[in-house]
Amino acid sequence: MKPRLLENKKDFTLKDFFLQWEWLLVVLIMAVFIMNTNLSEYFLDYDNLRDATMGFLDKAFMVLPMVFIILMGDIDISVGSIVALSSVIMGDLYNHGMPMEWAMVVCLAVGALCGWINGLLIVKFKELSAVIVTLATMIIYRGIAYIILEDQASGKFPEWFKFLGWDYVGNIPFILITFAVFAVAFGFLLHKTTFGRRVYAIGNNATASRYSGVQVDRIKIIVFTLAGLMAAVTAIFLTSRMGSTRPNIATGYELEVIAMVVLGGISTAGGKGRMIGAILAVFLIGFLRYGLGLVNVSAQMLLIILGLLLIFSVAIPQLKLRFTTGRKA
């Protein structure tokens, strides 16, 4: 049989290019900017934008590994508790005489350990879903944080520690630079490496991946460990911004992080979505929150808006599907 020659190029159409989810996020961000500019004449001021960014970037570190987790069809709702536990341990060790540098290293280690435990449990007990496992560890990690500090606060950190969350390198916030470095690294890991490709494979078809020699369990454990590690990075920046720590910090962060990832176009069914979408969603929600804060919209109202945005983000692809396939559900 004569071998058929296959074409070398991928079809490229402008329609497909502009029908990408990320463009919708860009439009929404622009809408938020227009709204905010009308609310406050100072909004578009560079200093103002810069400081607004610093206010919401702390939890964005957790969005990066959460993209991987949701891509694999899993979820991790314990990250907020990991922030609290690693932060409390860091504060407590410092208050008991450990140098702050070492306390920070321990903080990162604790976060990574918590994530590793999540991954191990999920891999070893396949009959339990990731929601259940991380629900349990969410309660446990937060519980340990309460045992350590017993409703007390820990603080009086060294002056330089404040720099992390509050200061600038040149005229750019240190936290923004750090986030940019991590975002590029995670984006690269996801889109350019064999590791990222295998994450997508697992999310689309874990069985076929295993049959193709992908080490599914190992990759899951690594990803969950990364999630724990990045929760500890959040813990450091959050603690720096607050100047003290308590066992109840970062409550509800996990939901906001998951909301950002989903709004970013990462399918909860696994296997679909891109890092850039989640990063855009971070800024969309961040600036939306900031703008609503300008006009004193209550925190509860903000949650409602967030919820509506989430439903919207899940519904749009369905509606698009119905539209393109002749109005069949």
Partner 1 sequence: MSETEYVLELKGITKIFPGVKALDDVYFKLKPGEIHALMGENGAGKSTFIKVITGVHSPEEGEMVLNGRKVQFNHPTDAQKAGIAAIYQHVTCYPDLSVTENIFMGHEKIQRGTNRILWNEMHKEADTLLQQLGAGFSPKTLMGALSVAEQQIVEIAKALSVDAKIIIMDEPTAALTKNESEELYRITERLRDRGTSIIFISHRFEDMYRLASKVTVFRDAKYIGTWNVDEISNSDLIIAMVGREISQLFPKKEAVIGEELLRVEGIGKTGYFADVSFSLRRGEILGLTGLVGAGRTEVCQTLFGIEQYDKGTVIFKGKVLKVKTPREAMRLGIGYLPEDRQKQGLVLQWEIGRNITLPTLSKFANKGIVNSRKELDIAKRLAEKVSVKAKSVFDLVSSLSGGNQQKVVFAKLLTAELDVLILDEPTKGVDVGAKSAIYEMISDLACSGYGIILVSSEMPEIIGMCDRVAVMREGRVTAMLDRQGLTQEAILEASMDDGASAPNTDGKRWAGA
Q: What is the C-alpha separation between 174 and 177, in angstroms, rounded? A: 5
Q: What is the C-alpha separation between 259 and 278, in angstroms, rounded? A: 9
The CA-atom distances, in angstroms, between 310 and each of 126, 228, 242, 292, 304 are: 29, 24, 29, 17, 10
- The answer to whether residue 3 forms part of the interface with partner 1 (CB under 8 A) is yes
- The answer to whether residue 209 forms part of the interface with partner 1 (CB under 8 A) is yes
- Whether 163 and 174 have beta carbons less than 8 Å apart is answered as yes
| Element holding 154 (H helix, E strand) | strand 154-155
Q: Between residue 11 and residue 50, which ones bind partner 1 under the rule CB under 8 A? A: 11
Q: Between residue 254 and residue 283, which ones bind partner 1 under the rule CB under 8 A? A: 271-272
Q: Which is nearer to partner 1, 1 or 299 (CB)?
A: 1
- The answer to whether residue 10 forms part of the interface with partner 1 (CB under 8 A) is yes
With CB under 8 A as the contact rule, the residue among 195, 307, 308, 320 that binds partner 1 is 195
Q: Is 173 helix (H, G, I), strand (E, B) or coil?
A: strand
- The answer to whether residue 201 forms part of the interface with partner 1 (CB under 8 A) is yes
Q: Which is nearer to partner 1, 10 or 15 (CB)?
A: 10
Write down the H helix ranges in 40-99: 46-56, 60-71, 79-95
Q: Which is nearer to partner 1, 60 or 72 (CB)?
A: 72
Query: Closest separation between CB of residue 80 and partner 1, Å?
Result: 31
Q: Which is nearer to partner 1, 78 or 209 (CB)?
A: 209
Q: What is the C-alpha separation between 306 and 289, in angstroms, rounded? A: 9
- The answer to whether residue 8 forms part of the interface with partner 1 (CB under 8 A) is yes
Radius of gyration of the chain (CA): 21
Q: Which is nearer to partner 1, 3 or 97 (CB)?
A: 3
- The answer to whether residue 318 forms part of the interface with partner 1 (CB under 8 A) is no
In the DSSP assignment, the letter for residue 264 is T
What is the contact mask toward partner 1 in residues 175 to 194, using x (rule: CB under 8 A)? -----------------xxx
- The answer to whether residue 214 forms part of the interface with partner 1 (CB under 8 A) is yes
Query: Closest separation between CB of residue 210 and partner 1, Å?
Result: 6
Would strands 244-245 and 154-155 be described as parallel, antiparallel, or unpaired?
A: antiparallel
Query: Phi then psi for 301, rounded to 5 degrees?
Result: -60, -40
Specify the stretch interacting with partner 1 by CB under 8 A; choose among 8-16, 66-74, 117-125, 247-255: 8-16
Q: Which is nearer to partner 1, 197 or 322 (CB)?
A: 197
With CB under 8 A as the contact rule, the residue among 171, 211, 324, 326 that binds partner 1 is 211
- The answer to whether residue 210 forms part of the interface with partner 1 (CB under 8 A) is yes
Query: Phi then psi for 328, rounded to 5 degrees?
Result: -110, 135
- The answer to whether residue 127 forms part of the interface with partner 1 (CB under 8 A) is no
Q: Which is nearer to partner 1, 271 or 291 (CB)?
A: 271
Kindly determine how many residues on this chain lie close enough to bind partner 1 according to the rule CB under 8 A.
Answer: 30
Q: Which is it for the CA torsion 89, 246, 66, 180, positive or negative?
A: negative
Q: What is the C-alpha separation between 81 and 148, in angstroms, rounded? A: 14
- Whether 260 and 287 have beta carbons less than 8 Å apart is answered as no
- List residues binding partner 1 (CB under 8 A): 1, 3-11, 192-195, 197-198, 201, 204-205, 207-215, 271-272
